[in-house]
Structure 1
Amino acid sequence: MTLFGTPIETIYIILLIVAGSLTILYIFFGDILEGIGEFSSFLHPALILAFITLFSATGYVLEVLTSLSSLLIIVISIFTAFILDALLNLFVLIPMSSAEESLSYTEESLKGRVGKIIISIPENGFGEIIIPSKSGMISKPSASYENLAIAEGKQVLVLDVVKGVLYVVPYDDDLDTENTD
């Protein structure tokens, strides 16, 4: 079968190459198009590109390996691509969208956390603090919120974060045990 004077196999392979190339570009620059996916889950660019890729790959393979009519191959390809696309959406994209975005932290999320001074903070100076987290220890530069010296090994409470520096005050965990009695 020919379409616009071009063999259908050639059209399938061109569609496959174009959709594959666009998929690679989408992987690198997909954040620009994420707003489209928020509008409608079936207009998600990854699903559209996957449908075109699966349709063209199925059509090409069936054209080359079988003697079925081209119209039947188009129908089979559309059906196969739709089913595989729906499975991709159901088992990959939806779970990924609801998964935790990252194990990383933001500096704002460190406010209110308790850490330990590993390099003492001199008066009006800087030291270093470590804060335990689910993914390991976070080490950040720190300064005293009240411009007082804080010795190494002391527990501190993070009150503020300014330009990557955690501003801390000494933390007395005896206060927690008194409130629980």
Structure 2
Amino acid sequence: MTLFGMSIETIYLILLVVSGVLTILYLLFGDVLEGIGEATGFLHPVLILAFITFFSAGGYILEKVTSLNSILIIVISAIIAAILDVLLNIFVLVPMSSAEQSLSYTEKSLEGRMGKAIITIPQNGFGEVVIESYSGMISKPAASYENTEIAGGSEVLVIEVRDGVLYVIPYKPSFT
């Protein structure tokens, strides 16, 4: 079958190469186009490019390997591409979008966490507290929230964070 003066295999191959190049460009410059995916909901650019890639690859392979009618090959390729696109969305894109964005933390997220004073916190001065995190240990300057001395090695509870300084109180477990 010919379309636009070219064989259908050539059109499938051109679509495959163009969608592959666009996919690579999207990987490199995808942050610029990220708003398009948010605005359109299910029509994410990755899904559109994946559909074109699956469709053209399936059509090219079926044209080369089988002797089916070209119209039937287009229908079969579209169905296969749609199924693979749905599977890609369900099993890859949706879990990735709901995954943790990074292992970083905000100072506000430190409030309410427990830590350990590694340097004694004097009554009206600063010491140092270390807090265990998923990404490692967080070490921050600390001051006593109640203006009392907190000995080094004791467990503390972060009450507030102001200007990069943790304001802590000694942690007293209520169920001991």
Task: Using structure 2 for the length normalisation, give the TM-score.
Answer: 0.78
User: For the Cα contact (< 8 Å) 2:129–2:142, is it kept in 1?
Assistant: no
**Which sections of structure 1, spanning at least 5 residues, go unmatched?**
none
Letter in 2 for 1:16: L
Matched, 1:143 2:138: no
Inter-CA distance 67–121: structure 2 relative to 1 (3 Å threshold): same
Aligned to 2:87: 87
Corresponding residue for 1:50?
50
Distance 1:65 1:131 in 2: 61
> Residue 13 and residue 128 in structure 1: after superposition, are their counterparts in 2 closer, same or farther (change >3 A)?
farther
Partner of 1:114: 114
CA contact (8 A) 2:117 2:151 kept: yes
Instruction: Give 1:123 deviation, angstroms.
Output: 7.6
Of stretches 81-90 and 135-144 in structure 1, the one that deviates more from structure 2 is 135-144
Cα offset, 1:127, TM superposition: 4.4
Is the partner of 2:156 in helix, strand or coil?
Answer: strand
SS of structure 1 residue aligned to 2:33: helix
Q: Work out whether residues 15 and 52 of structure 1, in 8 Å CA contact, stay in contact via their aligned partners in 2.
A: yes
Cα shift at 1:51: 0.5
- 3-state secondary structure, aligned to 2:30: helix
CA deviation profile, 1:48-103 (whole Å, cap 9, x unmatched): 11101100110111111122222221111111111111222223323333344445
Using the TM superposition, give the Cα deviation of residue 9 of structure 1 relative to its aligned residue in structure 2, in angstroms.
Answer: 1.7
Could you say which structure has the higher helix fraction? 1
> What SS does structure 2 have at the residue aligned with 1:43?
coil
- State the partner residue of 1:27: 27
Q: State the match for 2:169 in structure 1.
A: 170
C-alpha deviation, 1:2, in angstroms: 2.3
Aligned-partner Cα distance in 2 for 1:37–1:78: 22
Q: How far apart, CA to CA, are the structure 2 residues paired with 1:126 and 1:56?
A: 65
Contact 1:114 1:171 in 2 (8 A): no
Q: CA 1:30–1:127 in structure 2 vs 1: closer, same or farther (change >3 Å)?
A: farther
Q: Secondary structure at the match of 1:42?
A: coil
Name the counterpart of 1:11: 11
Identity of aligned residues (%): 60
The 2-side partners of 1:138 and 1:156 are apart by 15
Q: In the superposition, relative to structure 1, how do residues 23 and 107 fare at CA in structure 2: closer, same or farther (>3 Å)?
A: farther
Give the Cα–Cα distance (whole angstroms) in 1 for the partners of residues 152 and 122 of structure 2. Answer: 10
Flag structure 2 segments of 5+ consecutive residues without an equivalent. none
Cα distance in 2 between the residues matched to 1:70 and 1:84: 21
Kindly indicate whether the alpha-carbon contact (under 8 Å) linking 2:156 and 2:169 is maintained by their aligned counterparts in 1: yes
